[in-house]
Amino acid sequence: MPIPVINVAQMREWEKASWEAGKTESEVIMRVGQLVARRASQMVRPGQLVLVLAGKGNNGNDARRAREHLADWPVYLQDVSNPQEGISELHQILDQRPALIIDGLFGIGINRPLDEHWAALIQRINDLQTKVLSIDVPSGLNADTGEPMGTAIRASVTMTLGAPKQGLLLPSAWPYVGRLEVVPDIGLAKCPFTGETNWTLPEDFNNFPPERPATAHKGNFGRIAIIAGSLGYHGAAVLAARGAQRAQPGLITLYTNEEVYHSIAPQLQAVMVSIWNSKLSLPGDFNAVLIGPGLAAGDIPDDMKMMTRHVWRDAAVPVVVDASALDWLPLAPFPKNAIRVITPHPGEASRILRCSAKQVEANRPNALREVSKRLGNCWVVLKGNQTLIGRSSGEIYVNPSGNPYLAQGGSGDALSGYLAGLLAQPTLQVDPLKTLRYAVWQHGATADKLTATRNNWIVEDLLKELGSVVPELQDLPPSKPS
Protein backbone atom coordinates (compact mmCIF):
# COMPACT_ATOMS: atom_id res chain seq x y z
CA MET A 1 0.00 0.00 0.00
CA PRO A 2 1.86 3.15 -1.14
CA ILE A 3 2.03 5.97 1.38
CA PRO A 4 1.59 9.25 -0.52
CA VAL A 5 3.54 12.35 0.29
CA ILE A 6 0.91 14.92 1.33
CA ASN A 7 0.62 18.53 2.41
CA VAL A 8 -0.73 19.97 5.65
CA ALA A 9 -4.17 20.76 4.22
CA GLN A 10 -4.51 17.14 3.09
CA MET A 11 -3.45 15.93 6.54
CA ARG A 12 -6.18 18.08 8.05
CA GLU A 13 -8.75 16.66 5.61
CA TRP A 14 -7.63 13.14 6.40
CA GLU A 15 -7.97 13.91 10.09
CA LYS A 16 -11.48 15.30 9.53
CA ALA A 17 -12.53 12.31 7.44
CA SER A 18 -11.31 10.02 10.21
CA TRP A 19 -13.39 11.70 12.91
CA GLU A 20 -16.40 11.60 10.58
CA ALA A 21 -15.77 7.88 10.10
CA GLY A 22 -16.02 7.33 13.85
CA LYS A 23 -12.35 7.34 14.81
CA THR A 24 -11.56 9.47 17.84
CA GLU A 25 -8.81 11.95 18.42
CA SER A 26 -8.05 10.58 21.87
CA GLU A 27 -7.53 7.05 20.52
CA VAL A 28 -5.20 8.35 17.85
CA ILE A 29 -3.22 10.41 20.32
CA MET A 30 -2.97 7.42 22.64
CA ARG A 31 -1.56 5.29 19.85
CA VAL A 32 0.87 8.00 18.77
CA GLY A 33 2.02 8.31 22.38
CA GLN A 34 2.76 4.59 22.54
CA LEU A 35 4.63 4.61 19.24
CA VAL A 36 6.70 7.66 20.20
CA ALA A 37 7.59 6.06 23.53
CA ARG A 38 8.60 2.84 21.80
CA ARG A 39 10.90 4.71 19.42
CA ALA A 40 12.28 6.84 22.25
CA SER A 41 13.13 3.76 24.28
CA GLN A 42 15.34 2.61 21.42
CA MET A 43 17.31 5.82 21.59
CA VAL A 44 18.31 5.78 25.27
CA ARG A 45 19.78 3.31 27.70
CA PRO A 46 17.82 2.43 30.84
CA GLY A 47 18.32 5.05 33.51
CA GLN A 48 19.23 7.89 31.16
CA LEU A 49 17.39 11.15 31.56
CA VAL A 50 14.60 11.97 29.09
CA LEU A 51 13.03 15.40 28.71
CA VAL A 52 9.58 15.60 27.18
CA LEU A 53 8.62 19.01 25.84
CA ALA A 54 4.89 19.43 25.34
CA GLY A 55 3.35 22.42 23.59
CA LYS A 56 -0.24 23.58 23.93
CA GLY A 57 -1.64 21.81 20.86
CA ASN A 58 -2.12 18.17 19.95
CA ASN A 59 1.57 17.77 19.22
CA GLY A 60 1.99 18.42 22.93
CA ASN A 61 -0.76 15.93 23.71
CA ASP A 62 1.12 13.27 21.74
CA ALA A 63 4.19 14.04 23.85
CA ARG A 64 2.26 13.93 27.13
CA ARG A 65 0.86 10.53 26.16
CA ALA A 66 4.32 9.26 25.27
CA ARG A 67 5.54 10.20 28.72
CA GLU A 68 3.05 7.75 30.28
CA HIS A 69 4.77 4.86 28.50
CA LEU A 70 8.26 5.71 29.65
CA ALA A 71 7.96 4.39 33.17
CA ASP A 72 11.43 2.82 33.10
CA TRP A 73 13.24 6.10 32.53
CA PRO A 74 13.73 9.21 34.63
CA VAL A 75 11.55 11.62 32.68
CA TYR A 76 10.86 15.31 33.04
CA LEU A 77 7.67 16.41 31.39
CA GLN A 78 7.74 20.12 30.71
CA ASP A 79 4.64 21.88 29.44
CA VAL A 80 5.70 24.86 27.40
CA SER A 81 2.86 26.96 26.13
CA ASN A 82 4.68 30.18 26.78
CA PRO A 83 8.47 30.16 26.61
CA GLN A 84 8.65 32.98 29.16
CA GLU A 85 6.87 31.00 31.88
CA GLY A 86 8.63 28.35 33.97
CA ILE A 87 11.67 28.87 31.83
CA SER A 88 14.22 28.84 34.65
CA GLU A 89 13.06 25.36 35.66
CA LEU A 90 13.42 24.21 32.08
CA HIS A 91 16.93 25.63 31.86
CA GLN A 92 17.87 23.72 34.99
CA ILE A 93 16.76 20.50 33.37
CA LEU A 94 18.63 21.35 30.20
CA ASP A 95 21.73 21.98 32.32
CA GLN A 96 21.55 18.30 33.26
CA ARG A 97 21.96 17.44 29.59
CA PRO A 98 19.15 14.92 29.07
CA ALA A 99 20.16 11.97 26.90
CA LEU A 100 17.03 12.45 24.82
CA ILE A 101 14.55 15.26 24.24
CA ILE A 102 11.13 14.36 22.92
CA ASP A 103 10.00 17.37 20.95
CA GLY A 104 6.25 17.92 21.08
CA LEU A 105 6.25 21.71 20.97
CA PHE A 106 4.68 22.29 17.56
CA GLY A 107 3.53 20.02 14.78
CA ILE A 108 1.59 20.94 11.69
CA GLY A 109 -0.35 23.57 13.65
CA ILE A 110 2.37 26.22 13.61
CA ASN A 111 0.76 29.21 11.97
CA ARG A 112 3.14 32.15 12.28
CA PRO A 113 6.84 32.82 12.79
CA LEU A 114 8.16 32.05 16.24
CA ASP A 115 8.98 35.08 18.38
CA GLU A 116 12.35 35.78 19.97
CA HIS A 117 11.49 33.91 23.19
CA TRP A 118 10.71 30.72 21.29
CA ALA A 119 13.78 31.27 19.15
CA ALA A 120 15.99 31.53 22.25
CA LEU A 121 14.56 28.35 23.72
CA ILE A 122 14.98 26.40 20.49
CA GLN A 123 18.50 27.75 20.09
CA ARG A 124 19.33 26.53 23.59
CA ILE A 125 18.01 23.05 22.76
CA ASN A 126 19.90 22.92 19.47
CA ASP A 127 23.11 24.07 21.17
CA LEU A 128 22.92 21.13 23.57
CA GLN A 129 23.57 18.78 20.65
CA THR A 130 21.73 16.02 22.43
CA LYS A 131 19.50 13.47 20.71
CA VAL A 132 16.09 14.81 19.79
CA LEU A 133 13.07 12.81 18.70
CA SER A 134 10.62 15.19 17.04
CA ILE A 135 6.99 14.19 16.90
CA ASP A 136 5.45 14.69 13.45
CA VAL A 137 7.53 17.75 12.50
CA PRO A 138 10.66 19.34 14.01
CA SER A 139 9.06 22.14 16.01
CA GLY A 140 9.24 25.40 14.12
CA LEU A 141 9.54 23.87 10.68
CA ASN A 142 6.83 24.60 8.15
CA ALA A 143 5.79 21.14 7.00
CA ASP A 144 4.66 22.46 3.59
CA THR A 145 7.61 24.64 2.63
CA GLY A 146 10.39 22.84 4.50
CA GLU A 147 11.58 26.21 5.83
CA PRO A 148 11.90 27.14 9.51
CA MET A 149 9.37 29.70 10.71
CA GLY A 150 12.14 31.82 12.15
CA THR A 151 13.88 28.91 13.79
CA ALA A 152 13.35 25.18 14.25
CA ILE A 153 14.48 22.23 16.30
CA ARG A 154 17.29 20.17 14.79
CA ALA A 155 16.02 16.64 15.33
CA SER A 156 18.03 13.42 15.21
CA VAL A 157 14.89 11.55 14.21
CA THR A 158 11.56 12.93 13.05
CA MET A 159 8.71 10.50 13.42
CA THR A 160 6.06 11.85 11.12
CA LEU A 161 2.51 10.65 11.56
CA GLY A 162 0.25 9.00 8.98
CA ALA A 163 2.14 10.10 5.90
CA PRO A 164 5.23 12.18 5.10
CA LYS A 165 4.51 15.89 4.76
CA GLN A 166 5.95 17.36 1.59
CA GLY A 167 8.18 19.93 3.30
CA LEU A 168 10.04 17.23 5.22
CA LEU A 169 11.39 15.86 1.93
CA LEU A 170 12.95 19.11 0.79
CA PRO A 171 16.71 19.43 1.20
CA SER A 172 16.16 22.74 3.02
CA ALA A 173 14.41 20.73 5.74
CA TRP A 174 16.98 17.95 6.05
CA PRO A 175 19.21 19.63 8.67
CA TYR A 176 16.15 19.94 10.93
CA VAL A 177 14.43 16.66 10.13
CA GLY A 178 17.43 14.38 10.66
CA ARG A 179 16.40 10.85 9.91
CA LEU A 180 12.83 10.84 8.65
CA GLU A 181 10.63 7.98 9.74
CA VAL A 182 6.99 7.54 8.83
CA VAL A 183 4.48 5.86 11.11
CA PRO A 184 1.70 4.98 8.69
CA ASP A 185 -0.80 3.42 11.07
CA ILE A 186 -1.82 5.80 13.83
CA GLY A 187 -5.44 4.66 13.83
CA LEU A 188 -6.86 7.10 11.27
CA ALA A 189 -9.30 6.05 8.54
CA LYS A 190 -7.85 4.89 5.21
CA CYS A 191 -5.85 7.70 3.61
CA PRO A 192 -8.16 9.41 1.09
CA PHE A 193 -5.27 10.60 -1.08
CA THR A 194 -3.02 9.12 -3.69
CA GLY A 195 -0.02 10.95 -5.01
CA GLU A 196 2.75 10.74 -7.56
CA THR A 197 5.41 10.73 -4.87
CA ASN A 198 5.22 7.87 -2.41
CA TRP A 199 7.11 6.66 0.60
CA THR A 200 8.54 3.15 0.67
CA LEU A 201 7.83 0.92 3.67
CA PRO A 202 9.73 -2.27 4.52
CA GLU A 203 6.45 -4.17 4.42
CA ASP A 204 6.26 -3.40 0.68
CA PHE A 205 8.86 -6.16 0.33
CA ASN A 206 7.32 -8.89 2.45
CA ASN A 207 8.04 -12.17 0.61
CA PHE A 208 10.17 -10.39 -1.95
CA PRO A 209 12.16 -11.66 -3.80
CA PRO A 210 10.01 -14.77 -4.02
CA GLU A 211 11.46 -18.01 -2.72
CA ARG A 212 13.31 -20.12 -5.24
CA PRO A 213 11.60 -23.37 -6.27
CA ALA A 214 13.36 -26.55 -5.14
CA THR A 215 13.88 -27.59 -8.74
CA ALA A 216 15.69 -24.40 -9.73
CA HIS A 217 19.20 -24.36 -11.19
CA LYS A 218 21.56 -21.54 -11.99
CA GLY A 219 20.20 -21.24 -15.51
CA ASN A 220 16.99 -19.87 -14.00
CA PHE A 221 18.60 -16.87 -12.38
CA GLY A 222 20.21 -15.05 -15.21
CA ARG A 223 23.69 -14.20 -16.40
CA ILE A 224 25.07 -10.75 -15.91
CA ALA A 225 27.94 -9.00 -17.68
CA ILE A 226 29.68 -6.22 -15.77
CA ILE A 227 31.94 -3.83 -17.63
CA ALA A 228 34.01 -2.11 -14.97
CA GLY A 229 37.47 -1.16 -13.71
CA SER A 230 40.33 0.87 -15.12
CA LEU A 231 43.75 1.96 -13.96
CA GLY A 232 43.41 3.68 -10.60
CA TYR A 233 39.87 2.39 -10.17
CA HIS A 234 40.12 -1.39 -10.13
CA GLY A 235 38.49 -1.64 -6.69
CA ALA A 236 35.17 -0.31 -7.99
CA ALA A 237 34.97 -3.29 -10.33
CA VAL A 238 35.56 -5.69 -7.45
CA LEU A 239 32.94 -3.95 -5.30
CA ALA A 240 30.35 -3.99 -8.10
CA ALA A 241 31.04 -7.68 -8.77
CA ARG A 242 30.66 -8.48 -5.08
CA GLY A 243 27.46 -6.44 -4.94
CA ALA A 244 26.15 -8.49 -7.87
CA GLN A 245 27.12 -11.69 -6.04
CA ARG A 246 24.95 -10.69 -3.07
CA ALA A 247 21.98 -10.58 -5.45
CA GLN A 248 22.72 -14.23 -6.28
CA PRO A 249 22.23 -14.27 -10.05
CA GLY A 250 23.08 -17.50 -11.91
CA LEU A 251 26.42 -16.36 -13.37
CA ILE A 252 28.51 -13.21 -13.23
CA THR A 253 31.16 -12.26 -15.77
CA LEU A 254 33.28 -9.18 -15.24
CA TYR A 255 34.98 -7.62 -18.26
CA THR A 256 37.71 -5.24 -17.32
CA ASN A 257 40.53 -3.27 -18.89
CA GLU A 258 43.77 -5.12 -19.45
CA GLU A 259 45.86 -2.88 -17.16
CA VAL A 260 43.84 -3.89 -14.10
CA TYR A 261 42.97 -7.47 -14.94
CA HIS A 262 45.70 -8.87 -12.69
CA SER A 263 44.67 -6.72 -9.74
CA ILE A 264 41.05 -7.74 -10.02
CA ALA A 265 41.00 -11.39 -11.01
CA PRO A 266 42.69 -12.80 -7.88
CA GLN A 267 40.16 -11.03 -5.66
CA LEU A 268 37.17 -12.77 -7.17
CA GLN A 269 36.46 -16.47 -7.09
CA ALA A 270 32.87 -17.23 -8.12
CA VAL A 271 32.91 -14.35 -10.60
CA MET A 272 34.46 -14.99 -14.02
CA VAL A 273 36.88 -12.25 -15.01
CA SER A 274 37.94 -11.50 -18.59
CA ILE A 275 39.84 -8.77 -20.35
CA TRP A 276 37.51 -6.51 -22.27
CA ASN A 277 38.17 -6.30 -26.01
CA SER A 278 36.40 -4.44 -28.76
CA LYS A 279 35.28 -7.65 -30.47
CA LEU A 280 33.11 -8.57 -27.51
CA SER A 281 29.53 -8.66 -28.64
CA LEU A 282 27.06 -7.61 -25.94
CA PRO A 283 24.51 -8.48 -24.71
CA GLY A 284 25.12 -11.89 -26.32
CA ASP A 285 23.71 -14.54 -23.98
CA PHE A 286 23.59 -12.23 -21.00
CA ASN A 287 20.31 -11.38 -19.24
CA ALA A 288 21.57 -8.01 -18.02
CA VAL A 289 24.51 -5.69 -18.50
CA LEU A 290 26.03 -3.26 -15.99
CA ILE A 291 28.45 -0.64 -17.28
CA GLY A 292 30.30 2.02 -15.37
CA PRO A 293 31.89 1.31 -11.98
CA GLY A 294 35.53 2.33 -12.02
CA LEU A 295 35.67 3.41 -15.66
CA ALA A 296 37.10 6.78 -14.72
CA ALA A 297 40.63 6.55 -16.16
CA GLY A 298 41.49 9.08 -18.83
CA ASP A 299 42.22 6.50 -21.51
CA ILE A 300 39.01 4.45 -21.67
CA PRO A 301 38.94 3.05 -25.22
CA ASP A 302 36.48 4.74 -27.56
CA ASP A 303 35.26 1.27 -28.53
CA MET A 304 34.04 0.74 -24.98
CA LYS A 305 32.07 3.98 -25.12
CA MET A 306 30.61 3.00 -28.49
CA MET A 307 29.67 -0.42 -27.16
CA THR A 308 27.88 1.31 -24.24
CA ARG A 309 25.82 3.40 -26.65
CA HIS A 310 25.03 0.38 -28.78
CA VAL A 311 23.93 -1.78 -25.84
CA TRP A 312 21.79 1.06 -24.47
CA ARG A 313 20.11 1.70 -27.84
CA ASP A 314 19.59 -1.88 -28.98
CA ALA A 315 19.76 -4.57 -26.28
CA ALA A 316 16.51 -6.24 -25.30
CA VAL A 317 17.83 -7.09 -21.82
CA PRO A 318 18.12 -4.74 -18.82
CA VAL A 319 21.05 -2.33 -19.01
CA VAL A 320 22.23 -0.51 -15.89
CA VAL A 321 24.58 2.43 -16.32
CA ASP A 322 26.44 4.10 -13.47
CA ALA A 323 29.26 6.53 -12.75
CA SER A 324 31.54 7.61 -15.64
CA ALA A 325 29.59 5.66 -18.24
CA LEU A 326 26.64 8.01 -17.66
CA ASP A 327 28.55 10.58 -19.71
CA TRP A 328 28.63 8.29 -22.75
CA LEU A 329 24.90 7.63 -23.10
CA PRO A 330 23.12 8.55 -26.32
CA LEU A 331 20.08 10.82 -26.25
CA ALA A 332 18.34 8.23 -28.37
CA PRO A 333 15.37 5.96 -27.84
CA PHE A 334 15.78 2.33 -26.81
CA PRO A 335 13.53 -0.64 -27.60
CA LYS A 336 10.03 -0.31 -26.17
CA ASN A 337 9.64 -2.26 -22.91
CA ALA A 338 13.40 -2.73 -22.55
CA ILE A 339 14.59 -1.98 -19.02
CA ARG A 340 17.10 0.86 -18.77
CA VAL A 341 18.37 2.11 -15.43
CA ILE A 342 20.76 4.83 -14.41
CA THR A 343 22.00 5.41 -10.86
CA PRO A 344 23.38 8.98 -10.69
CA HIS A 345 24.28 10.90 -7.59
CA PRO A 346 23.24 14.57 -7.78
CA GLY A 347 26.58 15.56 -9.36
CA GLU A 348 26.17 13.02 -12.14
CA ALA A 349 22.55 14.02 -12.66
CA SER A 350 23.64 17.64 -12.97
CA ARG A 351 26.11 16.72 -15.72
CA ILE A 352 23.34 15.03 -17.69
CA LEU A 353 21.11 18.08 -17.23
CA ARG A 354 23.93 20.59 -17.76
CA CYS A 355 23.08 22.40 -14.56
CA SER A 356 24.58 22.56 -11.08
CA ALA A 357 24.19 19.88 -8.41
CA LYS A 358 22.57 22.61 -6.30
CA GLN A 359 19.86 23.00 -8.93
CA VAL A 360 19.29 19.23 -8.92
CA GLU A 361 18.96 19.25 -5.14
CA ALA A 362 16.58 22.22 -5.19
CA ASN A 363 13.93 20.03 -6.82
CA ARG A 364 14.97 16.42 -6.78
CA PRO A 365 11.74 14.90 -8.17
CA ASN A 366 11.83 17.35 -11.05
CA ALA A 367 15.51 16.60 -11.74
CA LEU A 368 14.72 12.89 -11.78
CA ARG A 369 11.91 13.43 -14.30
CA GLU A 370 14.09 15.61 -16.53
CA VAL A 371 17.00 13.16 -16.54
CA SER A 372 14.66 10.32 -17.42
CA LYS A 373 13.05 12.36 -20.19
CA ARG A 374 16.43 13.13 -21.69
CA LEU A 375 17.45 9.50 -21.67
CA GLY A 376 14.41 7.96 -23.34
CA ASN A 377 12.25 7.50 -20.21
CA CYS A 378 14.73 5.26 -18.43
CA TRP A 379 14.41 4.40 -14.73
CA VAL A 380 16.40 6.74 -12.55
CA VAL A 381 17.77 6.06 -9.09
CA LEU A 382 18.69 9.55 -7.87
CA LYS A 383 20.99 8.78 -4.96
CA GLY A 384 21.69 10.56 -1.68
CA ASN A 385 19.62 11.07 1.45
CA GLN A 386 16.06 9.96 0.62
CA THR A 387 17.07 8.36 -2.69
CA LEU A 388 14.35 8.74 -5.31
CA ILE A 389 13.33 6.09 -7.82
CA GLY A 390 11.10 6.71 -10.81
CA ARG A 391 10.80 7.77 -14.43
CA SER A 392 9.76 10.77 -16.51
CA SER A 393 6.14 10.19 -15.48
CA GLY A 394 4.25 7.98 -13.05
CA GLU A 395 5.06 7.20 -9.46
CA ILE A 396 8.23 8.31 -7.76
CA TYR A 397 9.24 6.42 -4.63
CA VAL A 398 11.27 7.85 -1.78
CA ASN A 399 13.59 5.42 -0.06
CA PRO A 400 13.53 5.64 3.75
CA SER A 401 16.58 3.55 4.63
CA GLY A 402 20.28 4.38 4.73
CA ASN A 403 22.32 6.93 6.61
CA PRO A 404 25.26 9.29 6.16
CA TYR A 405 27.77 6.50 6.86
CA LEU A 406 26.95 5.31 3.35
CA ALA A 407 28.80 8.38 2.13
CA GLN A 408 31.99 6.38 1.55
CA GLY A 409 33.59 5.90 -1.84
CA GLY A 410 32.52 2.55 -3.25
CA SER A 411 29.09 2.22 -1.63
CA GLY A 412 27.51 3.30 -4.91
CA ASP A 413 29.47 0.62 -6.80
CA ALA A 414 28.13 -1.98 -4.38
CA LEU A 415 24.61 -0.68 -5.04
CA SER A 416 24.84 -0.73 -8.83
CA GLY A 417 26.25 -4.27 -8.76
CA TYR A 418 23.55 -5.47 -6.40
CA LEU A 419 20.76 -3.80 -8.32
CA ALA A 420 21.98 -5.14 -11.67
CA GLY A 421 22.46 -8.61 -10.17
CA LEU A 422 18.80 -8.60 -9.16
CA LEU A 423 17.63 -7.29 -12.53
CA ALA A 424 19.49 -10.09 -14.33
CA GLN A 425 17.02 -12.55 -12.83
CA PRO A 426 14.05 -13.08 -15.12
CA THR A 427 11.51 -13.23 -12.29
CA LEU A 428 12.73 -9.87 -11.01
CA GLN A 429 12.42 -8.21 -14.42
CA VAL A 430 8.63 -8.42 -14.34
CA ASP A 431 8.22 -5.41 -12.06
CA PRO A 432 11.45 -3.40 -12.44
CA LEU A 433 10.27 -0.57 -10.20
CA LYS A 434 9.75 -2.96 -7.31
CA THR A 435 13.12 -4.60 -7.89
CA LEU A 436 14.88 -1.22 -7.96
CA ARG A 437 13.08 -0.03 -4.85
CA TYR A 438 13.98 -3.25 -3.11
CA ALA A 439 17.66 -2.98 -4.05
CA VAL A 440 17.91 0.59 -2.81
CA TRP A 441 15.96 -0.15 0.35
CA GLN A 442 18.06 -3.25 1.14
CA HIS A 443 21.32 -1.36 0.53
CA GLY A 444 20.24 1.39 2.96
CA ALA A 445 18.73 -1.02 5.48
CA THR A 446 21.97 -3.02 5.51
CA ALA A 447 23.87 0.20 6.22
CA ASP A 448 21.42 0.98 9.04
CA LYS A 449 21.94 -2.48 10.50
CA LEU A 450 25.71 -2.00 10.46
CA THR A 451 25.47 1.49 11.94
CA ALA A 452 23.35 0.11 14.79
CA THR A 453 26.09 -2.26 15.81
CA ARG A 454 29.39 -0.51 15.12
CA ASN A 455 30.87 2.87 14.33
CA ASN A 456 33.62 1.93 11.95
CA TRP A 457 32.06 -0.17 9.23
CA ILE A 458 33.41 0.07 5.71
CA VAL A 459 32.08 -0.79 2.26
CA GLU A 460 33.61 -4.27 2.45
CA ASP A 461 31.46 -4.88 5.57
CA LEU A 462 28.42 -3.59 3.72
CA LEU A 463 29.11 -6.11 0.99
CA LYS A 464 29.29 -8.95 3.49
CA GLU A 465 25.85 -8.11 4.82
CA LEU A 466 24.12 -6.73 1.73
CA GLY A 467 20.74 -8.36 1.25
CA SER A 468 20.49 -9.75 4.78
CA VAL A 469 17.78 -7.48 6.18
CA VAL A 470 14.43 -9.22 6.52
CA PRO A 471 11.66 -6.72 5.68
CA GLU A 472 9.12 -8.53 7.84
CA LEU A 473 11.25 -7.87 10.93
CA GLN A 474 11.64 -4.14 10.26
CA ASP A 475 8.86 -2.85 12.46
CA LEU A 476 11.18 -0.19 13.83
CA PRO A 477 14.51 0.64 12.22
CA PRO A 478 17.64 -0.49 13.99
CA SER A 479 19.03 2.23 16.18
CA LYS A 480 22.58 3.19 17.05
CA PRO A 481 23.36 2.19 20.63
CA SER A 482 23.44 5.19 22.95
Ligand X SMILES: NC(=O)C1=CN([C@@H]2O[C@H](COP(=O)(O)OP(=O)(O)OC[C@H]3O[C@@H](n4cnc5c(N)ncnc54)[C@H](OP(=O)(O)O)[C@@H]3O)[C@@H](O)[C@H]2O)[C@@H](O)CC1
Ligand Y SMILES: Nc1ncnc2c1ncn2[C@@H]1O[C@H](COP(=O)(O)OP(=O)(O)O)[C@@H](O)[C@H]1O
Count of residues interacting with ligand Y (CB under 6 A): 18
Task: Provide the minimum distance between the beta carbon of 128 and ligand Y in the complex, in angstroms, as a whole number.
Answer: 23
Stretch that binds ligand Y, among 47-55, 66-74, 411-419, 427-435 (CB under 6 A): 411-419
CB under 8 Å to 446, separation ≥6 — which residues? 462, 465, 466, 467, 468, 469
By CB under 6 A, name the one of 406, 420, 462, 463 that touches ligand Y: 406
By CB under 6 A, name the one of 13, 49, 74, 109 that touches ligand X: 109
Q: Which is nearer to K ion, 34 or 429 (CB)?
A: 34
Chain centroid offset of residue 158 CA: 14
Q: With CB cut-offs between 5 and 8 Å by kind, which of K ion, ligand X, ligand Y, none does residue 412 bind? A: ligand Y
Q: With CB cut-offs between 5 and 8 Å by kind, which of ligand X, ligand Y, K ion, none does residue 103 bind? A: K ion
Which of positions 242-261 make contact with ligand X (CB under 6 A)?
Answer: none
Task: Provide the minimum distance between the beta carbon of 158 and K ion in the complex, in angstroms, as a whole number.
Answer: 8
Does 385 belong to an annotated binding site?
yes
The shares of helix, strand and coil residues in the chain, as percent rounded to the nearest 5, are 40, 15, 45
Contact 113, 146 (CB under 8 A): no
Give ∠ CA 299-303-307 in degrees, rounded to 5. 125
DSSP 106-137: -STT--S---HHHHHHHHHHHHHT-EEEEESS
Q: Which is nearer to ligand X, 134 or 425 (CB)?
A: 134
179-183: strand order across its sheet: 75-79, 50-54, 100-104, 131-135, 157-161, 179-183
Stretch that binds ligand X, among 24-32, 311-319, 324-332, 440-448 (CB under 6 A): 24-32
Residue 142 burial (10 A CB sphere; 0-12, 13-18, 19+): buried
Which of positions 427-466 make contact with ligand Y (CB under 6 A)?
Answer: 443
Q: Which is nearer to ligand Y, 232 or 404 (CB)?
A: 404
Does 62 belong to an annotated binding site?
yes
- How far CA 365 is from CA of 120, 320, 420, in Å, comes to 35, 20, 23
By CB under 6 A, name the one of 232, 335, 404, 481 that touches ligand Y: 404
> Should residue 55 be labelled a site residue for ligand Y when binding is judged by CB under 6 A?
no
Does 206 belong to an annotated binding site?
no
Please count the CA atoms within 13 angstroms of the CA of 273 that sit on its side-chain side. Answer: 22
Strand 131-135 relative to strand 75-79, pairing: unpaired
> Should residue 106 be labelled a site residue for ligand X when binding is judged by CB under 6 A?
yes
User: Tell me, what DSSP letter sits at residue 212?
Assistant: P
Selection from 320, 278, 9, 283 nearest residue 143 by Cα: 9
> Should residue 403 be labelled a site residue for ligand Y when binding is judged by CB under 6 A?
yes
Please count the CA atoms within 13 angstroms of the CA of 98 that sit on its side-chain side. Answer: 28
Q: Which is nearer to ligand X, 123 or 363 (CB)?
A: 123
Does 386 belong to an annotated binding site?
yes
Looking at residue 223, its amino acid is R
* CA 237, 239, 243, 246 torsion-angle sign: positive
Q: Which is nearer to ligand Y, 406 or 466 (CB)?
A: 406
Stretch that binds ligand Y, among 58-66, 217-225, 263-271, 401-409 (CB under 6 A): 401-409
Q: Which is nearer to ligand X, 4 or 235 (CB)?
A: 4
Separation between Cα atoms, residue 151 and residue 288, nearest integer Å: 49
By CB under 6 A, name the one of 11, 271, 388, 440 that touches ligand X: 11
Does 136 belong to an annotated binding site?
yes
Give ∠ CA 182-183-185 in degrees, rounded to 5. 140
> Should residue 185 be labelled a site residue for ligand X when binding is judged by CB under 6 A?
no
By CB under 6 A, name the one of 6, 30, 32, 375 that touches ligand X: 32
By CB under 6 A, name the one of 10, 387, 425, 442 that touches ligand Y: 387
CB under 8 Å to 266, separation ≥6 — which residues? none
Does 134 belong to an annotated binding site?
no
Binding residues for ligand Y, rule: CB under 6 A, are: 323, 345, 383-385, 387, 402-404, 406-407, 409-413, 415, 443
**Binding site for AMP: which residues?**
383-387, 412
Which residues lie near ligand X (CB under 6 A)? 11, 15, 25, 28-29, 32, 55-62, 106-114, 118, 135-137, 161-162, 188
